[in-house]
Amino acid sequence: MSQRPTLSTSYRDPHTYPPGVAYADGQYFDVREAKVSILDWGFLRSDATYDVVHVWDGRFFRLDRHLDRFFASMEGLRLSAPCSREEIVRILHNCVALSGLKRAYVEVVCTRGTSPTFSRDPRHAENRLMAFAVALGSIARPEQMLRGLHAVVSDRVRIPPNSFDPTIKNYQWLDMVCGLFEAYDTDCDVPLLRDRDGNLTEGPGFNLFVVNGGKLATPDDGVLEGITRETVIALCAPEGLPVEERKVTARELMDADEAFVTSTAGGIIPLTRTNDQAIGTGKPGPITMRLTSAYWDRHTSPEWSEAIDYSAA
């Protein structure tokens, strides 16, 4: 006989979490205590937007640009945060300061929220803002950073722009997740998804660059306009490197001298194999390495980064 269900008044989450600090509803707490309602549209419908900024050696990198994108994403989804931009800046600083983390992955999320009647009309939901800081992670493990990532060029089509605007940072990731399993099944690390015409777009959490004859190119359409991508494009001028935003084909990737991917979670990461073939020499290339050091150099510059006051928390 099955046991009669009882209503628990002291539910305890049995899962484990990394150390960190979260914010919701005016309070800061251990990230393990941060919860999203099972009735939140963010959970039930992926109806949310978010942004991720990193902290490197106690400084936020390009926080302003991440917040510009976050506010544009909220506008695109008709979401509004229940607090101002200045308050969000303070919340993110506080999450990091309270965590004590000097290298952190900091995420801010706005969800559609819940409605008291479980209404199917998104206008009835009360939008919610949450944030957290945990230790900085990367889309590549240390050994993958050194040898470069191996990508499978998937036949899977990234959600097309006329279905959902990919410049709005979103959790519509099932194409990416299925792509990741395809990569693992073929002994690769990551997938690269295509558009409906077969051109390359992006992968789970990163943008793509190819380098040929000293010139760079990155897909111009059907992708999130990554802040790391934007940073790399800005670094090309002082490095004397021409760069184009345009269509990039799988053939071009196979024939490239070098390739790399860009993400807040890892920076500039070499891509050294595609399907079964080496890209260039099969090792991280000189232009990739040059841009990588220019990128990390900018992390101490007050023009690109801002210090966190840990004593304020």
Residue 209 binds ligand PLP (CB under 6 A): no
Asked whether position 292 contacts ligand PLP by CB under 6 A, the answer is no
Interface with ligand PLP, residue 73, by CB under 6 A: no
- For 23, 123, 274, the CA distances from 80, given in Å and listed in that order, are 17, 11, 41
Which residue stretch of 14-22, 87-95, 202-210, 245-253 sits at the interface with ligand PLP (rule: CB under 6 A)? 202-210
- Point out which span in 14-22, 225-233, 272-280, 291-299 binds ligand PLP (CB under 6 A): 225-233
CB 91 within 8 A of CB 130: no
* 112 sits near ligand PLP (criterion: CB under 6 A): no
Binding flag, residue 233, ligand PLP (CB under 6 A): no
Structure tokens at 304: 């690109």
- Could you give the strand order of the β-sheet that contains 305-307, starting from the edge strand earlier in sequence? 27-30, 20-24, 126-135, 104-114, 48-56, 59-61, 305-307
**Residue 263 found at the interface with ligand PLP (CB under 6 A):** yes
Nearest distance in Å: CB 105, ligand PLP: 10
Task: Establish if 228 lies at the interface with ligand PLP (CB under 6 A).
Answer: yes
Residue 121 exposed, middle or buried by CB count within 10 Å (0-12, 13-18, 19+): exposed
- Which of 93, 128, 229, 273 binds ligand PLP (CB under 6 A)? It is 229
Residue 49 touches ligand PLP, criterion: CB under 6 A: no
- State yes or no: residue 206 binds ligand PLP (CB under 6 A): yes
Site residue total, ligand PLP (CB under 6 A) = 13
Question: Quick check: 201 binds ligand PLP (CB under 6 A)?
Answer: no
Angle at 86 (CA atoms; ends 85, 89), nearest 5 degrees: 85
20 near ligand PLP (CB under 6 A) = no
Pairwise CA distance, residues 82 & 112, whole Å: 11
- Using the rule CB under 6 A, give the single segment among 8-16, 108-116, 238-246, 261-269 that binds ligand PLP: 261-269
207 binds ligand PLP (CB under 6 A): yes
Which one of residues 226, 270, 284, 285 is an interface residue with ligand PLP (CB under 6 A)?
226
Q: Which is nearer to ligand PLP, 175 or 313 (CB)?
A: 175
When asked if residue 92 is in the footprint of ligand PLP (CB under 6 A), the reply is no
Concatenated DSSP letters of 25-67: TTEEEEGGG----TT-HHHHH--EEEEEEEEETTEEESHHHHH
Q: Per CB under 6 A, does 191 bind ligand PLP?
A: no
DSSP string, 197-215: TS-B-EETTEEEEEEETTE
Pairing assessment for the beta strands 104-114 and 59-61 based on DSSP bridges: unpaired
Q: Is 154 in the site for ligand PLP (CB under 6 A)?
A: no
The residue nearest ligand PLP at its CB is 226
Q: What is the DSSP letter of 73?
A: H
Q: Which two tokens stand for residue 184?
A: 């693992």
Query: Which residue of 73, 264, 288, 305 would you call a contact of ligand PLP, by CB under 6 A?
Result: 264
189's CB contacts (< 8 A; 6+ apart) are 140, 144, 149, 150, 151, 183
Based on the shown chain and the rule CB under 6 A, indicate whether residue 107 belongs to the binding site for ligand PLP: no
The CA radius of gyration of the chain, in Å to the nearest whole number, is 21
Residues found near ligand PLP in the complex (CB under 6 A): 52, 202, 205-207, 224, 226-229, 262-264
